[in-house]
Amino acid sequence: MFSRYRSVLRRVVHTGVLYRNFNVGQIRKVPHNISVPVSVGFSLLTLIGLEKKLNAEDELILTIKHCILFIQRNEFDKAEQLLHVALKQAQQMQHNTGITYIYDVMGNLALERKQYDKAKQLFVAVTQRIIADGVSENDLKVIHLSAKLARISHMQKDYTTAQLGFDWCLEKLYDKVKIDPSDVNKQLLAMTEDWYGRLFLDCGKLELGINYIKKSYENMKDIPEVEKEHLIIQLNDIGTALYKVGAIDESIEYLTEAIDLGKTLPDMVELGTVYVNLGRAYLQKQLIEKARKTCGYGWRIAFMGKNDEIKKEAEICLQQIKNAAIYYFFYFPCKIKL
């Protein structure tokens, strides 16, 4: 029921904020490019110290910043070309740290383009390079890369390997957060919990998936660097999963919270999807008028934002509501709730 309109937000399971939270200078975010964070407020760039070491290499920094900007804009071919330019610059400078980071960004780009084998090779290479530099397997950088490799296994439907990878990462992260509950540690923990939850959702283990994404949301919501768009998407996904397991009242609570949070983001067209989800939840409760108003508002958001996919789903929802209203009117008039 939800597969088509939830595909509007499918990119949340691939990548995103690895690029948008690139910490060299102030790179403006592209409002329409909303996705679930890969690093949630930090990047491998910061973790390996490239930000400090490259201050003198302005040209390389500028090139990398342009790569990030192209990725934000979904101009992947331009990003790919420029990344090779940046790699050549770093190689000519013999800047091993810069080379490592560029490989990491190349891996992120490959992941965004669903080139999973290529992304895996690049992330393995990055891991090997930083370990060769003396980084231990308990280091946050290695855990971060391991989480991305587990994510790739998930995307390739190698669920056993993905689960082993996430289990290893979470064991390390829970220990780290106990010792040092810093935002950096909590961010990576939240990201990994989010991905692990989505693995369980895809495997049909909805209760486990819901629990992990709920835990991720609780960790993320108080971190200043996490954008409201991401929190809205998490709330939406929790609400839709709860709908699938029949927890309609709780589903309505999460979807309503997502909409309340989204009211501060008038340009977020994807919020129309959340309204459609909520409308269908109301319909399940036979709250016909609430369902009609909610789906209608989702349609208006999609129409104003020129998003035909969400608009079509809203129209399907409105037709379902109309059919249900007619059915209840003739057969169960006393059960119609306004």
pLDDT digits (tens, 9 = 90+) for 187-212: 999 999 999 999 999 999 999 999 99
Contact present, 161 and 150 (Cβ < 8 Å): yes
Contact present, 256 and 294 (Cβ < 8 Å): no
Residues 46 and 124 grouped into a single domain: yes
pLDDT of residue 54: 47
Residues 163 and 102 grouped into a single domain: no
Number of domains into which the chain is organized: 3
Examine the fold and report which residue of 98, 116, 135 is the final residue of a domain before the chain moves on: 135
Which token pair is 64? 């990398």
User: Is the confidence at residue 11, as pLDDT, over 50?
Assistant: no
pLDDT of residue 46: 56
Q: Note the pLDDT tens digit of each residue in 42-65.
A: 455 555 555 555 454 677 888 888
Q: Which residues pair with 287 in a beta bridge?
A: 337
pLDDT of residue 71: 86
SS3 (DSSP) at 334: helix
Residues 110 and 157 grouped into a single domain: no
Percent of the chain residues topping a pLDDT of 90:
64
Distance CA(223)–CA(182), nearest Å, equals 10
Segment (H or E) for 154: helix 140-155
Range of the domain at 54: 1-135
pTM over 0.85: no
User: Would you tell me how many other CB atoms lie within 10 Å of the CB of residue 260?
Assistant: 11
- Non-local (6+) Cβ contacts of 123 within 8 A are 104, 107, 145, 148, 149, 152
Residues 3 and 124 grouped into a single domain: yes
**Amino acid at the residue 338:** L
Residues 109 and 211 grouped into a single domain: no
Average pLDDT over residues 312-317: 94
- Which CATH number does the domain housing residue 272 bear? 1.25.40.10
User: Is the confidence at residue 269, as pLDDT, over 80?
Assistant: yes
E strands in 150-302: none
Which token pair is 87? 């790699």
- Of residues 74 and 120, more confidence is placed in 120
User: Is the confidence at residue 2, as pLDDT, over 50?
Assistant: no
Residues 166 and 101 grouped into a single domain: no
Q: Tokens 């939830």 identify what position?
A: 6
Q: Note the pLDDT tens digit of each residue in 113-163.
A: 999 999 999 999 999 999 999 999 999 999 999 999 999 999 999 999 999
SS3 (DSSP) at 18: helix
pLDDT of residue 5: 30
Residues 37 and 162 grouped into a single domain: no
> DSSP labels for 206-262?
HHHHHHHHHHHHHHHTT-TTS-HHHHHHHHHHHHHHHHHTT-HHHHHHHHHHHHHHH
Residues 281 and 337 grouped into a single domain: yes
Distance CA(273)–CA(246), nearest Å, equals 19
Distance CA(172)–CA(179), nearest Å, equals 11
Examine the fold and report which residue of 113, 135, 157 is the final residue of a domain before the chain moves on: 135
pLDDT of residue 17: 28
Residues 107 and 167 grouped into a single domain: no
User: Is the confidence at residue 244, as pLDDT, over 60?
Assistant: yes
- Which CATH number does the domain housing residue 202 bear? 1.25.40
Residues 234 and 222 grouped into a single domain: no
Q: Which residues pair with 337 in a beta bridge?
A: 287
Residues 80 and 3 grouped into a single domain: yes
Examine the fold and report which residue of 82, 111, 135 is the final residue of a domain before the chain moves on: 135
Q: How would residue 41 be classed by pLDDT, with cut points 50, 70 and 90?
A: very low
Q: How would residue 177 be classed by pLDDT, with cut points 50, 70 and 90?
A: very high
- Of residues 178 and 326, more confidence is placed in 178
Q: Tokens 């220990």 identify what position?
A: 175
Burial annotation 164-188 (CB, 10 A radius, 16+ → b, else e): ebbeebbebbeebbeeeeebbbbbb
Average pLDDT over residues 62-80: 88
Residue of 35, 48, 118, 129 lying closest to 83 (CA atoms): 118
SS3 (DSSP) at 287: strand
Distance CA(226)–CA(233), nearest Å, equals 12
Residue of 33, 9, 37 lying closest to 21 (CA atoms): 37
CA quadruple 198, 199, 203, 204: dihedral sign: negative
Residues 42 and 169 grouped into a single domain: no
Q: What is the mean pLDDT of the chain?
A: 82
pLDDT of residue 43: 55
Which token pair is 221? 């919501």
